[in-house]
Structures are given as C-alpha cells and as structure tokens.
Structure 1
C-alpha cells in the first residue's frame, strides 16, 4: 500500500495497542439512528449499505462539506476541490456531464430537499445532526435520479433548551475558520436556532507562469431556523444563505515538465469559482389519527454560479473554460406513514418539482496558441501559429493574419425548464418474529424543455472548439420520460446481534439534452450558420442492482461490523464524447460492477474508539463505448479497485478533562479518469496520514492541535481524458490530472460550548 518506513510504525502501534489490550474493558457502542427508510431506525436494522456520520464527529474530523465524506465512505470516490460534482461516483456510477441538460447520478439531499446540481451542492457543513451515505440505487426511497446512491444531510433542529457554541480554527496557508451557534427557547413550544460560518485561506500551489499561489478561498454562510413543537404538529422552518468565492480547478500535465506540486497556468489568479445560494425549507409533521403521521417537505432554492478555469493546463492560452448560470428550484412532497406496532408498517407519498436554469458557457482562447496546440497533439508539432504553412496544410485553408484573434470566446447560451412528479410507496411485513420483507416502488415522470443558441465567434477559425457552426437565435426541443422503479428487501435476524439482509433495486436516471450538442443533418458549411436543428436528446440510463449483507454486533456490543456484497448491470450510460465538433452526451456502452464493502466501529476498551472502512470493487465495461475504441474490458472511471480508511482514537482521562490522540489513515488504489483507462489521466495509488492531539475540558471547552498529510504524500484528486492514450488527436487538449494534494498543514482549533 505504498506505506513508507515512517508510516508503518504509526499504523502498527495503533492497531497493536488496540488489538492487544486484554486488561481494558470493552465499551458498548451507542446505537446510531438513521432515517433513510423514511422512519427512524437503528443503523443495524436497515437492509441496505449505509455509512452514517454524526455531526459532532464530522466537526471534530474537519469534514467541511460533502467532499469530506469521500475518503471515509467505502465505495464513494472522486472528490473535487471545485463546485462541480461531475467526479463524484458511488460504486463506480457517476456522470462526467458538467452541463445543465442532464442530472447528477449521486443525489444529494439536505433536510429532505434535493440539493441541486453543479454550483449549488457543495455547501458548507456546520451545525449538522448527521450525514447518511446510502449506496446503491435509491430511486424508490429518494427519487430524483438517485441511480448511484443518495446522501442525506440533516441539520440540527431547534430544541427547548438554551445552547451555544463557538469554534475557531487557525492553520497554515492563512486558513481561518469560525463557527457560531445559538439555540433559544422563545416559548414552551417555539424555539429559535441560528448558526453562522466563515472561513478564508490563502493559496498554496505554485504557478510557475507568474509566481502566484493558487488555492485561495473565502466563504460565509448563515442558517436560521424556527421550530414549533406542539402536541400534534412539529414544524421546522429554515433559511440558509451562502456566499462562496474560491479558486477553480487547476490541471497538471507532464508536458509542462514540472514536478507534481507545481502547475503552469496562463489564467493563474484570474480564475474564479463563485456561488451565491439561498435555500428556504419547511419540514412539517402532523400526528393524525392513532398510528398515522403526515409529513410535508417544502423547498425553494435559488443560486447564481460563475466559474472560470484554465482547462488546457498549460502556459498557452488554449482553452479557458467559463460557465455562468442562474438556477431556481422548487419542490413539494407529502408522505403518509403508518406504524401500528404490528406486523405491517408502510408509507406512501407524492412529490412534484420545477427547475429553471439559465446558463452561458464559454471556451476562450488565443487563436495562434490554439493552432500551435492542435498541431502539437494532432500532427506532432511544428506550427508557429494559425498562418503557419504547417497549420494551413492541416486546416486545408489559407489563413489571413488580419483575421487572427488573440482573445476570442466561443459562446453558447442554454435555457432549461424541467418539471416532474412521482408517486411512491413502501411496505414492510414482519413475516415472522425474525424475518421482515419490504416491497416498494416509485413511478416517476420528468419533463424537460431545452433551448440552445450558439453565437458566431468569428476570427480566423470560426467556431471550432465545441461547435462547427452557429445558430440564428435559439433552437429548442422538449421531451418526457417516465419509469417505474421497484425495490424488494428481506432482513433476517439470526439473533439479537446478527442480521442478514438481501435486496434488489432498479436504478434509473432520466433522459435529457446535451448542453453542447445540436442534432443536425450535417448540411451546413463548416463554420457557417446552421439552418435547422434541435438540442441533442439522450435517453435514460438504468441499473439492476443486487446486494446481500450482514450487520452485526459482536464482542458484547463493543464491535459493530457491517459487510455488504453488491453486483449490478449498467446500461445506456450517459457519457460525454467528442464528435462533430461538439462535446455530446450520448447513451453509450454497458458495464457491470461487483464489490465488497465493510464498515467497522470498535471500542476495545473504555478509552479506545476505532473506525475502519474498506471497499473492493471490480468494474468492467462490457460493451464498447464507441465502436473500436478498445474500452471493452476496461474499468469504470472513478472506481478504484481498493480503497479504505482507519480512524483510531485513544482517550486519556486527566485532571479536569480528557486528552485524546487520533490517527487517520486513508488509502486509495489507482483510479482512472475516463473509460479509455489512459495512464496519462490515471491517478496512481496513494495514502495519507493525519494526526490530532487534543484536550477536552470538563468545563465544556476543547483545544485540538492537528496536522494533515504529515508525510507530504504527492498525489492528484482525479484525472480527465481529453486526448487518446498518447496525448494525441486531442484537438489541442491533453490528458490531465486535477489538483495536486495539499502539502502538510498544521492547525489549531478551539471549541467552546455554553
């Protein structure tokens, strides 16, 4: 596992001390309550693979947003530093579509509301009760295209007692973070809770083009909540506002001849990743007649997202990619739950949503620089600019030097309107004292209307990067898709400490439109106006998923060990390909995956707490993505064969409080950036060790000294395939790796409750 000689003693000492301490008294683990099946159950009761993280734990471990869950969740991969989620994948299912015409494969919900798409999902974690990562298709339970799985994030509710908390963190690279929460009971049944979050950091990654450091960020967020807790009604109203400005993704290519901790970007500090997000939610529960509960979940989310990055990853001005969008989203759901304490428990519900997205996409470049890059990738080099005879021969046209633009933008404008509805239900039958059988299903209807306009960029080359034409105003199309997605599960309790389960579920993600694609008959002059066309539609993708597992409480309740085996087939994958001058999303290929996942929580003594996660998966593309491309037999992207983590904490009681010592270890096997499995876009295997040393006072304050990546491991988050395996035929773009790992960072956190 690429563990250096320095790392081995640390890991061995933690495991050795925990495994060989017979004099220590084992501590019983407190049950974790989850709500993934629309009712409160213990984690050990749910017949599906779930990784649950309590709010206090996430705060202590420095998990700042959904990306922080990736390393600690078996089978969850593809974290990213920017505001996109096009790299996130659960069990190898994700989407590389960074446009607006499709939907994410990993469905993220906060307080019951779909959290949205790129630019609106990566909201800060603070004052949370819990985060639940549910793996495998969750169309029945979560809906809204949860084909890979669902992430359920739950904020703390206002309570009937006064509470307050403040936290302050300072760290290297100018990092400062402050969080404050106050809870106020206003009357016997009305409570208020308010939280505020703020953080900033300087850059830390050297850009060799101008000497600037990249990676800076500034983020502020506020959440206000009001709760009415009556005899029959419990209602929580929340308003959350977040303002984020940070660095965009940066790309590293070996052609720059730089070490892995430096990049070359012509854009440098001029890039940005900005978001302004407002979310309003209402969660209302009515206790109706005996045994019946009605739940209403209402959400409204609106946000602006602006983004600009140097996508080509070189010092030349070849492709600075920009995206600007405005999003409005509304949803309403009603659910009726029945639990009479007998053999039958069920729920049934209905939901609607409406979403509008207005977006502008830009590929900006210097035409001479692009011509140099095109000849480098497609012809082996030799051009000095667009009017060079080498390029003119390639282009099969003479170039007038007067037409060459040094700052040019190819722009397309998209307007998307989506709406849909679904009805769903789930019933659990206690067949015997030890056997529960659950049957559920959801019927979903989605409607989309897409409008696309491609502007004429002019210059010597015309529209070349994502388009071979421009349009006279908008072209448009609309379509509808519907599907029924069933689920069946069985849960058998061997005894009070061992449960076995099996389930089948159908995964579904609705169809949509290529943000950068227009269907046409090809009867247009290259670079000219398209006379007729419409946005290019793609159909839904589907999976059939099977899972068996065991959830156990062993060693007198001091060890919770959960193991799952899964297998699925995956058809009509929605993938971006480069074709006819456009980055098109099409239904391509088939794949399958199988794997084993393990979660363990062990308290071998009253002073020890050990958590471990492990995943092995064996994915395979079973039908070529494109005919003759050699992808058959390859692994799915963002699906490393092996990944795992270990968090071990030793608590030492001292006068007036407790000292704690924590080591965190994360390992990830090699991970491919695309279906071609190209080495130049592959992340090599890596591991990282973090340490925490802290004091918790009996007077409700704590101080923690922490260090991340203490051995300065060099690795990348992910890779992207833009060219072929040899970095050729990429139309000026190279295969690249994204965001080098942040070097060792040392910080101090003070936390006070009152």
Structure 2
C-alpha cells in the first residue's frame, strides 16, 4: 500500500539525469542511485566520466516523448526536433550534418538494444514500453563506434520479467489525439519468459494549407513488439521482434521573404500555423514501415568473464513527399522513396575484478539501400522564376533598378522569356510538368575492433583507456533520369544511360581516456579526452566530371559518356576535451552534474546550397565549446525540482576555399547551433489517503539558431522559444492512475527552422510549433 507514503511518480520522478524517484518512506527525501550502461556495463550515473542524460521508460511515456528526435526538447544541448523522419537536422552541441541524402549518415548515432539505427526512414521508430533512453554528448568513437561524432542516443527496450503482469494506458486529447499502449508480461516456466507490447498513436492535422483548406500534421502510427527471454545459471538470451507502420507529416514551408528571388508575386501572407501548397494536402506524407529482429546472448564464462553476442536484422520501406517552394503556384515538389536492409553482428568479451574492468570486442555490418529522389517542376514556371532572378541580378550589376512589373507583363512562359532576351519568336512554350530523378543503388559494409579498460589506481582514482579501429566500405551507384524538355535543365543538365558507380574506403582509430577522481564519497571530478569519426560518403544528387568537361557546357548529354563519377567527400574527425563534476550534496537531497568541453573538427561534413544545387562536402575545420549543467534538488519531502542548462559556442575556423570565400564565412556559427537552452521541471506531491496527487510544471527554452545550410556571419535565424506544460496526476494505491495535462499552456508559436532563398524560392520557415492541447491519460496496472 502506498497510502501515507511520499511516493513521487511525476515526470521528474522517473527520469534519470532528470532522474528517477520512487522513494517510499524516508525521514528526509534523498535522490537514489541511477544505473546506466553507457560504458557497456551497469554503473551508477555518478561514476561515469561522460556527459549523459538518461530517462526511464516511464518518464518517456508520461512526457509523451514520441521518438528519438523528440528528446531534443528534454535535453539541453540537443536540438533539431523537426516534424519529419529525417535525421539530418539533429544537433548535439552545435553539430549536425544537414545531409538528407543516403550517401552518408547523420552525426548523431541512434542505437536500440545495441543495434545501429542511424538511417532516415528507419531510425525514428516510436517510443513505447522502454526500459531506458540515454543521451550521450560528445564524440563516442570508442564506446559506440562509427557515425557518433557528435553524440549518441541509446535506447533500451523493456525486458521480460519473472512475474506475470500487464498494463493498459490510454490517452485522449484535443485535435483527435489518441494514444494507447498495452503490455503483457508472461512467464512461461522457470527459464523462459515473454513480453508483448502494442502501441497506437493518432492525431489530427493542425497546420492549414490555405490552398485547399485542409489540415496537415496528422499522425497514425501502429506498432507491436514481442520479446522472448531465456535464463539459466550461465546463459541469458533475449530475442526481440518488432514491426511498425508509421504515417506522419512531412516538413511544410512558409515563405516570408521573396526579395532575393526576383519573383515578387510570391505570397508571404500566410498566418500562424498556415502554409500554401499546390500539392493536395492528402498527398503530403512521411510514411513507411519498419521491422527489426535482435538477438542478445550473454554467457557467464566464470571467473569474472562473460561473452556477449548481439545480432541485428532490420529494414524499412519509406515514402516522403513535400512542396519545398512553400507556394500554391506549382514551382517544384520533392519526393523520396526508399528501401533498406541492414544486418550487424557484434561479439564482446568482458572481465570484471576489483582492480580492473575491461572489455574487447569486434563488430561487422552490411547495409543495402535503394532510393529514388524525384523533383517535379513546371518548365514554363522555371523560365519565369529564373528569368526574373537573372534579370534582377543583371540590373543590379549595372546599377539599374529592376522593373519587375514590366518584366512580368512581358514574360509569362519560356517562349516569351526567350523573346524578351532577344532570341526571337521561334521558341515555343515549355512542355509542362517535368520530372528529374536520381536512383540510388548502394551497398555499405564495415567492421571494427575495440577495447576499453578501467583501472582502480587508488581508492579515489580510476583511469579509463579505450580505442577502436574501424573500416567502412561504400559501393555507391546513381542513375540520373528525367523527362524530355524543351529548355531548362533544372536539377542537373545531364542524364545517365546506366548507373554511375563509385566506391570508397575510410578507416579510423578512435581513442578515449578519462581520469575520475573522487573528492569524497559523494563528489567526483573527471577529465576526459575522446575522439570520434564519421565515414566519408557520396553526394546523392550530383556527379563529378573530368577536368576537361565544363559543366556549364553540358546540355542534356549522357553523364556515362562524359566520364562522370559519383562525387565523394572524405571522413570527418573530431577531438573533445571535457572537465566534469558529479556530486550529491545536502545529505543526498541535491545532485549536481556539470561539464565544460571544447572540441575541434577536422574536415567537418556539412550540406549547403550552391544556387539551387544542394551539396555535401568537407567544408573545413570547426571548433566549439560549452558548459552543461544538470541540477536536481529535493527542497522538501514533497517538492522535486530539476534544472538543465546548456550553453554552446561554435565557429567555422578554416573554411575550404571551394565551399565559400573565407572572408565571408570564417568565424561563422555552425548552422543549428543553439547558444543557450534549458529545461525546468518542478513537481509537488500531495500524499492522500489512498494514493498521491502530483502537480508538475515543465518549462523548456531554446535560443534562436542559424538556419539550415546557412554559413554566414549574419545568418537568417530560426526562432527562439519558451514553452510550458502542466500535468496534474493522481496515482492510486489500487493500481490505476489519471493525469490531466495541458501542453504549450501559453500557445507559444515559433518556427523550428529557417532556410535562405535561391534563384526561384523565397526564404522560408519550416516546422511549426504545435498549438495548446488539453488531454487526459488513464492507466491501469494488473
């Protein structure tokens, strides 16, 4: 019975680093020990010399955290929570890649039960029935491996237990918000146990397409997971199988500035949570299905040795459609379809003694991916938009004022554009809707060997040293196609009669060292040095030609005949130095985790625009520094307060001359960097006769950030924001609970991102904040 006991089951009470509270009867409330597995073994969070924010599965459920990207709101120092399934916007300590193609991966690694998920379309499976989510900041080349140059998100699903139990959780709210999670844990016999979980999440759209009056933003996700576990004295094995069908919104765009386009009839009058698109709202989608099988086997070899095998098989099918120009006039639309199959195998040998704990391991992976990128546009519209842009730039070059009204009265299609420029009237109009496509057929594989050890040098000092060697191989093929056209080659001025293939190999040795010093039983400090690595890759949407081929002279030729090859970029590497403090004070009623860091990138990968062409390259060197703080305090037996703060400063220090004029972008902030972010969660618990009433207030803040793909000393900035949620919940001693919640109490409106203009698209916002929403959650355990 929980009556008369102070038991906190608030949002805060089940977080780790925002941490877990299930206290029972105590004379004075204390913060209990939190166990994490960041270093591949169970350790107290306070003993891990790494910056980690971790959250329990119960917290994830109560806070309505949908997937890995949604962790950005809760974790200061992490940003990039856009509405779509793309990982390129995810940002840790100011670092992201901004590559929506498939020639490389994101800078933050996403892992589930030890299996790498870091591919758009498959990484953002729904969060339900989880044990833990750990957000690890800074390069993790040794502990997590490839493609964790900025950090890692490690997800652990709930395991079967030896007690028969279950739970049903329902959520209902405004805008058709419906959520259901059902879990059944069923022991089979003394050695076999099983667990089944189902999840459903639906929500109506909440952003209006003013062109057809319909709402965009609807979600319809359905997922199931089954886990079978075997345990005896020496072997523990877990087989997990899951499937999810996902349907959600793509990114939608709202033009706010057309001054640079030469296309002055752009509409910029859409209101809050409104946009304009010529694509029917029902066709704007981000949808797919994800499946996965994971087998984890741990064998106790005796004498402190254990052997772990982690086998993963995953795949997804994905379809995406957006109207990138953000206008109700048909300019161009973007579509992507994708199929992926992925297999990985890892073996690890662990040894623990009082003096040293170590592990060594090896891993191998193979990925096959097929993707089609398709851009659809109208030839006549392109003639007008590009024509206006060119005419405006020519006028400016000669110090003249561009007469847009006269231009638009004379130029209405390709024929009138060429006549306007003095080519005569023999040119006909464009031939309507055109499609440019790129098909990708790629196979990636790689392997790595690693080791890590922690020595207890004295009672107060631990030393950790680790290293990982990685080799990545990529076989990349691209085939360019498109409809015939009379005039404009918009996406690329060529086609390819067959797949153009290229291959690349990249290797790296990542290392880490950490010295942990316990000042006393409650406080420790650490100094760490770590490196990280992300393999090189290929530009999805363009081709590299021999030096004797001038791309400006290409006009519809076969790229195969011209000797074209996939355009590659090199690996990026990062070094990070970090000083941290972890401690408990005030008789265990206050916990402080703080860190100061500085990193340097060599050959940082990033996406950027060159006119209308999107490219990914090693843009040069970059550096960043920052401070992070997690503070947890229990001022009274009834009040629980968590404060998380992060400050970051980044800059491009040595830009590549082929990327930009160094004078223009030297010292520019890295796009997506949030200078300051914070989270405040306070819970007041009122013990009652047959349960507990908990009132929780959550406030989250992010400063403004430089826009997507914009490297400039005075860039366009995405909005900063502060949003607040309220939850009032009753947790009954009879195993049921009810929580009334209001998300975004003040109905704060902001945009999650911004991108600049090019020759035919105005500067535009994307990612609209969700409106205030009221709802109720009801849970029952049995």
**TM-score with structure 1 length normalisation?**
0.93
1:326-384 CA-partner distances (Å, limit 9, x unpaired): 0000000000000022x111100000000010010001112223333334545445344
CA distance in 1 between counterparts of 2:382 and 2:740 reads: 48
Alignment of 1:154-553 (within 5 A): 154-255=156-257, 256-267=268-279, 268-341=281-354, 343-380=355-392, 381=404, 382-383=407-408, 384-387=411-414, 389-390=416-417, 400-405=427-432, 407-465=433-491, 467-521=492-546, 522-523=549-550, 525-530=554-559, 531=561, 532-553=563-584
Q: Of 691, 703, 724, which aligns to 1:669? A: 703
User: Counterpart in 2 of 1:744?
Assistant: 772
Assess if the C-alpha contact under 8 Å between 2:414 and 2:429 holds in 1: no
**Count of aligned pairs between the two proteins:** 721
CA distance in 2 between counterparts of 1:399 and 1:420 reads: 57
Q: CA deviation at 1:684?
A: 2.1
Closer/same/farther in 2, CA of residues 678 and 454 from structure 1, 3 Å limit: farther
Q: CA deviation at 1:301?
A: 0.3
Q: CA deviation at 1:508?
A: 0.8
Name the SS of the counterpart of 1:439 in structure 2: strand
CA distance in 1 between counterparts of 2:670 and 2:50 reads: 23
1:227-261 CA-partner distances (Å, limit 9, x unpaired): 00111000110001000112211011214222232
Closer/same/farther in 2, CA of residues 203 and 556 from structure 1, 3 Å limit: same
- Give ranges in structure 2 of 5+ residues lacking alignment: 1-25, 258-267, 393-403
Q: Of 676, 681, 703, which aligns to 1:642? A: 676
- Give ranges in structure 1 of 5+ residues lacking alignment: 1-23, 724-729
CA distance in 1 between counterparts of 2:426 and 2:541 reads: 27
User: Counterpart in 2 of 1:710?
Assistant: 745
Name the SS of the counterpart of 1:71 in structure 2: helix
Q: Of 606, 610, 614, which aligns to 2:645? A: 614
Q: CA deviation at 1:581?
A: 6.9
Closer/same/farther in 2, CA of residues 197 and 378 from structure 1, 3 Å limit: farther
Assess if the C-alpha contact under 8 Å between 1:222 and 1:242 holds in 2: yes
CA distance in 2 between counterparts of 1:394 and 1:573 reads: 42
**Structure 1 residue 69 and structure 2 residue 71: aligned?**
yes
CA RMSD of aligned residues (A): 1.9
Assess if the C-alpha contact under 8 Å between 1:133 and 1:151 holds in 2: yes
User: Counterpart in 2 of 1:17?
Assistant: none
Closer/same/farther in 2, CA of residues 360 and 605 from structure 1, 3 Å limit: same
Name the SS of the counterpart of 1:542 in structure 2: strand
CA distance in 2 between counterparts of 1:206 and 1:577 reads: 29
Closer/same/farther in 2, CA of residues 578 and 62 from structure 1, 3 Å limit: closer
Assess if the C-alpha contact under 8 Å between 1:181 and 1:196 holds in 2: yes
Assess if the C-alpha contact under 8 Å between 2:512 and 2:529 holds in 1: yes
CA distance in 2 between counterparts of 1:105 and 1:452 reads: 23
CA distance in 1 between counterparts of 2:150 and 2:536 reads: 15
CA distance in 2 between counterparts of 1:679 and 1:214 reads: 33
Name the SS of the counterpart of 2:357 in structure 1: strand
**Structure 1 residue 98 and structure 2 residue 133: aligned?**
no
User: Counterpart in 1 of 2:10?
Assistant: none
Name the SS of the counterpart of 1:414 in structure 2: strand
Name the SS of the counterpart of 1:59 in structure 2: helix
User: Counterpart in 2 of 1:14?
Assistant: none
CA distance in 1 between counterparts of 2:580 and 2:294 reads: 35
CA distance in 2 between counterparts of 1:404 and 1:188 reads: 72
Q: Of 688, 702, 723, which aligns to 1:654? A: 688
Closer/same/farther in 2, CA of residues 707 and 35 from structure 1, 3 Å limit: same
CA distance in 2 between counterparts of 1:262 and 1:409 reads: 27
Closer/same/farther in 2, CA of residues 395 and 700 from structure 1, 3 Å limit: farther
Assess if the C-alpha contact under 8 Å between 1:386 and 1:392 holds in 2: no
CA distance in 1 between counterparts of 2:366 and 2:422 reads: 45
User: Counterpart in 2 of 1:593?
Assistant: 624
Closer/same/farther in 2, CA of residues 379 and 79 from structure 1, 3 Å limit: farther
Alignment of 1:136-155 (within 5 A): 136-155=138-157
**Structure 1 residue 569 and structure 2 residue 600: aligned?**
yes
1:155-174 CA-partner distances (Å, limit 9, x unpaired): 11001001100111111111
User: Counterpart in 2 of 1:688?
Assistant: 723
Q: CA deviation at 1:397?
A: 9.4
**TM-score with structure 2 length normalisation?**
0.90
